Amino acid sequence: MQQPDPAALPLERKVSLLSGGDFWSTQSLDEAGVPAVVLTDGPHGARRQQAAADHLGFHASEPSTCFPPAVAVGSSWDPELAARVGEAVGREARALGVGVILGPGVNIKRSPLCGRNFEYYSEDPLLSGVLGAAFVRGLQTQGVGAAVKHFAANNQETDRMRVSADVDERTLREIYLAAFEHIITQARPASVMAAYNRINGAPASESTWLLTQVLREEWGFEGAVVSDWGGVGDRVAALAAGVDLQMPGPDEANDAAIMRAVRDGVLEEALVDASVRRVAALAELAAAPVVERVESAGHHALARKLAADCVVLLKNDKSTLPLAEGVRLAVIGEFAADPQFQGGGSSLINATHVDSPLEAIRTLGHPVTYAPGFTTDGTGDPKVLREEAVRIARGVEVAVVFVGLRGESEGSDRAHLDLPADQVELVRAVSAVAPHTVVVLSTGGVVSLEGWHDDVDAIVAGWLLGQASGGTLADVLSGAVNPSGHLAESIPLRLEDNPSYLTFPGEAGHVRYGEGVMVGYRHYETVGRTVRYPFGYGLSYTTYRTDEMSVDVTGDDTATVRLRATNTGDRPGKHVIQVYVATSAGRVRRPVRELRAFTKVGLRSGESRVVELPLERRSFAYYDVEGGRWVVAPGAYTVQIGESAARVVAEQTVTLTGDTDVTPLSLDSAIGDWFAHPVAGPLLQEALMAGATEEQRQQAEANSDLMEMVASIPARQYLHFPGVPVSTDDLTEILEATR
Ligand code: BGC
């Protein structure tokens, strides 16, 4: 039976749909056949809460598999992996009766200190966008909608509900909106979550520019915009700007405000109707049949397998890893027995099962001794703990030290990049006596490796790997899995080197994104700042070669990169191919290189494969703020294959025709722009030289310094300099000729 249009219901009834029914679901409208749909957190699991009111992880939630969080998935550089996480979370969500998962989080890691970096993929928008889109696709194949968050410029926790991210538009478009744009245009998520913060003074949830003009009109988003929890200040303004659903709810006061605004003619009823229809469409996700409970052992095994490809091997001197068969091991560090596998806050998953690295290592067949080495809760005597660890490290061939961070959580930023001092001391003390030392890091974000990096033989960045992290780490240490992760964020030598250092997290309610587009590696590479490990870096137990690179410009300023990748080592592996574009074309400052394509290919030992990667027009473009459009500047572009953002292994330069049409001139355009214009330039030249003698003409031509001086003068003002023989009418006439 055809259901009535919910927007045709009486105002009061339909408005009720625009705020939640409770903390985690929408209201139903029985008379229009609209069910209530459940929205829950994740996104690296399905966090269906048992108690109603709480979104920061205080109340327990139903058990569900904790898959690797975004910090790990980002390091996989593998969209297929991200899709499988999405699909598995979708299956569990369905089993729990959840229609919308609040994620993925695709905010850019502007500062390594952001407290929610473990929920985000990368400092690079392409990597974030491609992985986010894959997750959304995987999730939505299960009939569960994604709510991509937090839209936008939500890059810190300090003052997160009020701070204004002050960002210029080019930076917004190229860095902070780009991942969202990719996901919305490529993967059609059911929903987008508006961020808490302000952007250039205006609350993100009240920005018509952001939520309607850019999101809907430019990118074609057709889903529902949901507020962040408690993120609506002025409900009428938020609705007018494009927030369809306020969560949580119900909120009778705001419903009344909306009705008043409609009745007073302040808010068009058509806007209400559009939002009602979108929320009703979202609620259709409730209708998908609830699947049987998911078999948790299978998903645990999947979590282990997926996490393995997220681990980044940072250092491996003397081929310390993989562990040689039967070597005597000292496993040290509290994190070995009690792993940190996820962060805190709204994404906290009630894991179905947790693998301990220590137990998993014990199954590998090595003689193993264990000492905690430190505690993170302040109990125990640090000296005694350290001495015990040093004692067991003395008698073995390899010491594996598990260190990391506790307490990384939504709601607060970190104050520095350091590991706790007692852990650093432990690493140094152990490495002084052990023949070989391996450090395994469990952190949701980058930590400083200084002060101990050179003392150890191997470093494994295990991030937060989800509930199977113990088994995963054992797989990597033993060589059952060949590590294939690469850094999704740079590891600087000092926090002070990070481009956001001077402005993060802002002051007096504002955080100025003064570094512009020079975020992360874009900054380090452009200014030539050495980092400990660059974006894109990651070792393997095998080696790869790249050759036979070619780039074909395919017309329309797109290109295809072709290359041959070979596994030159003696074990199978997964190789990440990173394509960067370097250019100085155009009238804006370009980063020295930017990631523009990537892929991950599995290669057996000795296997060679030809790989093709398309480069779209956007790969070469910058956002032209004056013209309000993406521009490919005519000129030279060097396509580079990087082992990381800092090391190019092959490159080729191509020339692009680019956009030859120019920004329209006006009387306020600079004289330099007038001269550069293909039609106006010669006409203006002619007008200026009218009546000049040959000698004067030659003088003018010779005097190029003067030309540079006048180039920046607006045409309107230039006319008034003594001796300029051109009037406003003349310029207007030339302007006509350019149209
Ligand atoms: C977070 C969101 C989350 C929501 C619901 C907010 O505090 O910013 O990411 O989805 O709570 O728990």
How does pLDDT run across 44-94, given as a tens digit for each residue? Answer: 999 999 766 566 656 689 999 999 999 999 999 999 999 999 999 999 999
> What sign results for the dihedral spanned by CA atoms 255, 261, 267, 273?
positive
Q: Which two tokens stand for residue 491?
A: 């590891």
Q: Assign 448 to helix, strand or coil.
A: coil
Structure confidence at residue 301 (pLDDT): 98
Cα-to-centroid distance, 62 and ligand 1 (Å): 17
Pocket of ligand 1 (CB under 6 A): 41, 55, 102, 149, 228-229, 346
User: Which residue, chain included where needed, has tokens 């009703």?
Assistant: 280
346-403 pLDDT per residue, tens: 999 999 999 999 999 999 999 999 999 999 999 999 999 999 999 999 999 999 999 9
Facing residues of 212 across strands? none
688-704 pLDDT per residue, tens: 888 888 888 888 888 87
Nearest in space to 116 (alpha carbons), one of 66, 160, 161, 157: 157
Q: Assign 698 to helix, strand or coil.
A: helix
Cα-to-centroid distance, 193 and ligand 1 (Å): 9
The pLDDT-based confidence of 626 (bands split at 50, 70, 90) is: confident
Candidate from 228, 347, 409 with most ligand 1 atoms within 8 A of CB, to mutate: 228
Structure confidence at residue 554 (pLDDT): 87
The pLDDT-based confidence of 314 (bands split at 50, 70, 90) is: very high
Structure confidence at residue 723 (pLDDT): 86
CA 97 from centre of chain? 29
Cα-to-centroid distance, 158 and ligand 1 (Å): 15
Which residue's CA is the nearest one to ligand 1's atom 9?
Answer: 346
Cα-to-centroid distance, 619 and ligand 1 (Å): 33
List, edge to edge, every strand of the sheet that includes 398-404: 312-316, 458-461, 436-442, 398-404, 329-332, 368-371
Cα(278)–Cα(215) distance, rounded to whole angstroms? Answer: 14
Cα(87)–Cα(138) distance, rounded to whole angstroms? Answer: 4
Structure confidence at residue 1 (pLDDT): 59
Instruction: Indicate which atom in ligand 1 lies nearest the CA of residue 56.
Output: 12
Which residue's CA is the nearest one to ligand 1's atom 3?
Answer: 346
> Cis omega before residue 248 (within 30°)?
yes
Average confidence (pLDDT) over 284-310: 91
398-443 pLDDT per residue, tens: 999 999 999 999 999 999 999 999 999 999 999 999 999 999 999 9
Kind and range of the H or E element at 701? helix 694-702
Q: Which residue has better confidence, 85 or 723?
A: 85
Cα(387)–Cα(164) distance, rounded to whole angstroms? Answer: 49
The pLDDT-based confidence of 733 (bands split at 50, 70, 90) is: very high
User: Which residue, chain included where needed, has tokens 């006409």?
Assistant: 683
The pLDDT-based confidence of 290 (bands split at 50, 70, 90) is: confident
The pLDDT-based confidence of 678 (bands split at 50, 70, 90) is: confident
Q: Assign 13 to helix, strand or coil.
A: helix
Average confidence (pLDDT) over 494-511: 98
Could you count the other beta carbons within 10 Å of the beta carbon of residue 242?
Answer: 27
- pLDDT above 70: residue 32: yes
Cα(274)–Cα(257) distance, rounded to whole angstroms? Answer: 17
Q: Which two tokens stand for residue 101?
A: 């998962």
Instruction: Indicate which atom in ligand 1 lies nearest the CA of residue 247.
Output: 5
Candidate from 101, 410, 412 with most ligand 1 atoms within 8 A of CB, to mutate: 410
> Cis omega before residue 677 (within 30°)?
no
The pLDDT-based confidence of 555 (bands split at 50, 70, 90) is: confident
169-208 pLDDT per residue, tens: 999 999 999 999 999 999 999 999 999 999 999 999 999 9
Cα(411)–Cα(407) distance, rounded to whole angstroms? Answer: 11
- Supply the mean pLDDT for the chain: 96
225-239 pLDDT per residue, tens: 999 999 999 999 999
Could you count the other beta carbons within 10 Å of the beta carbon of residue 532?
Answer: 18
* Catalytic residue check, 244: no
Cα-to-centroid distance, 55 and ligand 1 (Å): 6
Q: What does the DSSP assignment read for 442-477? A: E-SS----TTTGGG-SEEEE-----TTHHHHHHHHH
> Cis omega before residue 435 (within 30°)?
no
Nearest in space to 439 (alpha carbons), one of 403, 397, 395, 470: 403
99-157 pLDDT per residue, tens: 999 999 999 999 999 999 999 999 999 999 999 999 999 999 999 999 999 999 999 99
Lowest mean pLDDT among 362-366, 478-482, 607-611, 668-672: 668-672
Give the chain's radius of gyration (CA, Å): 29
Kind and range of the H or E element at 567? strand 559-567
Q: Which residues contact 739 (CB under 8 A, 6 or more apart)?
A: none
The pLDDT > 90 percentage for the chain reads: 90
Structure confidence at residue 465 (pLDDT): 98
Burial tier of 473 (Cβ tally within 10 Å: 0-12, 13-18, 19+): buried
Could you count the other beta carbons within 10 Å of the beta carbon of residue 332?
Answer: 34
Q: Which two tokens stand for residue 475?
A: 């797989």
Kind and range of the H or E element at 208? helix 208-208
CB of 444 closer than 8 Å to CB of 408: yes
Residues in the chain: 739
Cα(651)–Cα(640) distance, rounded to whole angstroms? Answer: 4
Average confidence (pLDDT) over 554-567: 95
Catalytic residue (one of 41, 124, 228, 624):
228
Candidate from 38, 41, 58, 154 with most ligand 1 atoms within 8 A of CB, to mutate: 41
Average confidence (pLDDT) over 299-316: 98
- pLDDT above 80: residue 661: no
User: Which residue, chain included where needed, has tokens 């929903």?
Assistant: 191
Cα-based distances in Å from 456 to 214, 438, 450:
49, 6, 11
Facing residues of 418 across strands? none
- pLDDT above 90: residue 470: yes
In the chain, the domains with their CATH numbers are: 10-287 (3.20.20.300), 307-531 (3.40.50.1700), 544-656 (2.60.40.10), 671-738 (no CATH)
Structure confidence at residue 704 (pLDDT): 73
